[in-house]
Amino acid sequence: MGRLLGRLLASVRVRVTATAVLAVVCALGAAAFFLEGSLEHDRQRILMSTAQDQAVQVATDNPEMTLPLSLPANSTLQSGLVEVVRNGKVLGGSHPLAKLPPLWLPGDPQMQQNSFVFAGQAQDVHVVAVPVITPSHVRATVVVITSLDQYDTSLADVRKTLEIGMPVLLAVVGIICWAIVGRALRPIEALRREVTEIATTPGSLRIAEPGTGDEVGRLARTLNSMLDRIEAASARERRFVSDASHELRSPIANIRTEIEVALHHPEFADWHSVAQDVLSENDRMGRLVQELLLLARADEGGLLPSSGATDLGEVAESADGVTDAGLGGPGPEIFVDTVFAPVAVPPIYLERMVANLVGNARRFAASRIDVTVTREEPYAVLRVRDDGPGIPEAERNRIFERFVRLDEARDRGDGGFGLGLAIVADVCRAYGGRIEVGDAAPGAVFTLRFPLVRGVRSKRRVRQPAPA
């Protein structure tokens, strides 16, 4: 029973219908409360109005208040029986009050309920004392007996109607709300079935958009957009795993080949050379694993937080690849021109980005690489320019993807894994910067922009002017 109730309460349709019915119950309850108070107020007003009208009529018919009095006679006791009191004495009363003792004496309340009943003809009987002044300026008190049986009967009929009508009204409201909510949720349920089918069916299926401009249509478009992003992320993940496994397979295979050949002909093996080759391949795998871990941290938001300002110019002058050849052997000449430019990026990541950009430029530069750091408010700007063949405009966005190399070379002589620029782009975005690539005519220029940190004292720096 509890499980069934929990399942029912988990339904949006049930909850909305129950909420609507509860709201109607509260509204009707409040309306009934105010109606009851209004009717009770009207009951007292009717009682006093009836008594005052009857007393005025008696005063008009008896201007001198002398016997015999002209009084109404009403044997039904519904209303209109009167008793005239003057100076504390009863002057007279309508039949059948003539034989009763005084119904009101000076000092009694003006209105009181009396329990007497004549021949069982009235139940709700009230005695109202109304002071009057006749046209002859005679003062007296007219005691009027009124019965509100008819009014109470009408009020009871209203209560009975409400008692019967409220459940019927609530049932109608519940049925209408159930139908409307079911109709409104029908497209949502259709979307749910389609999403379930897409989740269990391979392929690039998409949700059929209803073509309406309402919330359901916007939900369908949002779900399709989400499915596009999921599919793209899945494709990137599959390509990432494939490329990573390919890159790792090559050094593992080389190590295995070196050792197997040496073991097969141990008498001819140069074990020192074998050890150097194995260490070289091991270093290559280590660099690949480090770069993969850095990319994984960037994806998960696990990069180090910025603990203060770092001088981008100083890092650019001292980063690996700027101060040494990096790739070994002769290479293009590097010229550095920097200024003081504090940014909120940890030094370890700035050094990696500069080294990756310079290393990328080394592979393609013909004779020269220019590294500059400038302040272009409100940014600190790092530019790495080479005089190589440049990058085609159609490929300038693709080069920041992982394991992308434009020449598709996979040999060790190429010197990279296709992860350097991807690392620069991901780390740059993680710290609020952006990276651009343009044409240097000849060659390519990579531009990094980071927001400047305010309030940091400048340092005197000696520039290294680049030759013309």
DSSP 78-109: SEEEEEEEETTEEEEE-TTGGGSPPS--TTS-
pTM of the model: 0.50
pLDDT for 468: 44
Position 466 pLDDT exceeds 70: no
CA angle 8-12-15, nearest 5°? 65
pLDDT for 385: 93
pLDDT (tens digit, 9 = 90+) per residue, 193-202? 888 887 777 7
Position 220 pLDDT exceeds 50: yes
pLDDT for 5: 52
Mean pLDDT of 167-182: 87
Q: Where are the alpha helices (DSSP H) in 324-411?
A: 347-364
Domains (range + CATH), the chain: 1-203 (no CATH), 215-298 (1.10.287.130), 304-451 (3.30.565.10)
Mean pLDDT rounded to a whole number for the chain: 78
pLDDT for 374: 93
Amino acid (1-letter code) at residue 359: G
pLDDT (tens digit, 9 = 90+) per residue, 396-451? 888 887 777 665 444 444 456 677 888 888 888 888 899 999 888 888 999 999 99
Rg (C-alpha) for the chain, rounded Å, is 50
145: its two tokens: 């007996």
Q: What is the SS3 assignment for 263-285?
A: HHCCCCCCHHHHHHHHHHHHHHH
Mean pLDDT of 332-358: 89
Instruction: Determine the Cα–Cα distance for residues 446 and 357; give it in Å rounded to an integer.
Output: 8
- The CA–CA distances, whole Å, from 366 to 3, 235, 332, 369, 391 equal 75, 36, 6, 9, 14
- The CA–CA distances, whole Å, from 313 to 87, 255, 262, 302, 350 equal 114, 41, 49, 26, 10
Mean pLDDT of 277-293: 80
